Amino acid sequence: MKPFLFLLAFCASLFADAHILCYHRFDDNKPKLRHTNISSKKFAEQLAALKADGNKFATLSSVVTAIKTNKPIGEKLAVITVDDAYKSFYEKALPILKEQKIPFTLFVYVEAVNNKYKDYMNWDQVKEAGKYGEIHLHSYAHKDLTKLTPAELEKDTTEAMALFEKHMGYKPKYYAYPFGLYNYEVKQKLKSMGFEAIFTVDNGAVDVKSDPFSMERIAVNEDTDFSLNIKVKPLDITLEKATGDKIKTVKGSVSNFGGKTIKMYVAKGDTRVLELKNGSFETTVDMDKINSKKKLIFFTEDHRYRAKLIEKD
């Protein structure tokens, strides 16, 4: 390969991104659950649309490994993830994925599986799904983790991991936050408990700049504008450590977007337009008025996204 072409290929792959899609239920007759459900027909159509658009299906572990080791993650990758372990996944989606040999990751809500809640898979079904995909953890009790004390979060996680290991025979490496909800304390606690990567439903694509402990996923349901969502891009944004007490100064810069402004979500009713000067911006945030997770969401008109916690490591 000529040096110039090599450089071009190298740059393209280094800045490549992957779309991690997040599904829940696959019932064909659940109109009331539209926000977490998709019919099997529509699911099959989405898989076909991804293929027609030139996407390749990747395992979650291959994408995580690439990101964590700063390796190129490849072009046009899609990753299928499924939360909770609903029976409809086993009955409707698994046969489609198996038949088309599409890899997937299932995040298990352990209490529901272990206590045989109606609508959920049992351990035998989870194990069988594990022959075709990767199986990881989605908490024990599926609570909003930001409302638990550190001791409660540790207990929930320890219990979930013990049951998971007992039935699956290995320790789960990855975790998906229930409802996608997290804050700085939750993230630090789970990180300290040994997970290699943790997944949100912060909208966006993942790339080398993604935080492995709050990886973006695109939540998909019956009403998702799928053709738009598979085009979302990561926003490469660097935030400095915010300074000040109640009123914090937030400074940052954007490297992969050439527009004049970006938007920043602070709280309900407070989404701002930030002016970029040579890619940099500065603003202030009142800590009494920021959303309860203390998470700023940055996005652009051309559908680049990235969420950042105001507290940093």
Binding site for Zn ion (CB under 5 A): 83-84
C-alpha Rg value of the chain to the nearest Å? 20
CB 193, min distance to Zn ion, A: 19
CB 101, min distance to Zn ion, A: 26
CA–CA dist 45, 100 (Å, integer): 13
Which is nearer to Zn ion, 111 or 236 (by Cβ)? 111
H helix or E strand, kind and range, residue 10: helix 3-14
Residue 295 phi/psi, 5-degree rounding, is -120, 130
CB 43, min distance to Zn ion, A: 17
CB 144, min distance to Zn ion, A: 11
CB 143, min distance to Zn ion, A: 10
Which is nearer to Zn ion, 187 or 304 (by Cβ)? 187
CB 142, min distance to Zn ion, A: 6
Yes or no: say if 196 and 173 are a contact pair by the CB < 8 Å rule.
yes
CA dist 262 to 88, 271, 273, Å?
Answer: 40, 10, 6
CA–CA dist 180, 201 (Å, integer): 5
Which is nearer to Zn ion, 81 or 300 (by Cβ)? 81
Which is nearer to Zn ion, 84 or 211 (by Cβ)? 84
Yes or no: say if 270 and 264 are a contact pair by the CB < 8 Å rule.
no
End-to-end CA distance of the chain: 41
Which is nearer to Zn ion, 177 or 281 (by Cβ)? 177
CA–CA dist 137, 121 (Å, integer): 14
Which is nearer to Zn ion, 137 or 206 (by Cβ)? 137
Residue nearest to Zn ion as judged by C-beta position? 83
- Nearest residue to 195 (alpha-carbon basis) of 248, 242, 158: 158
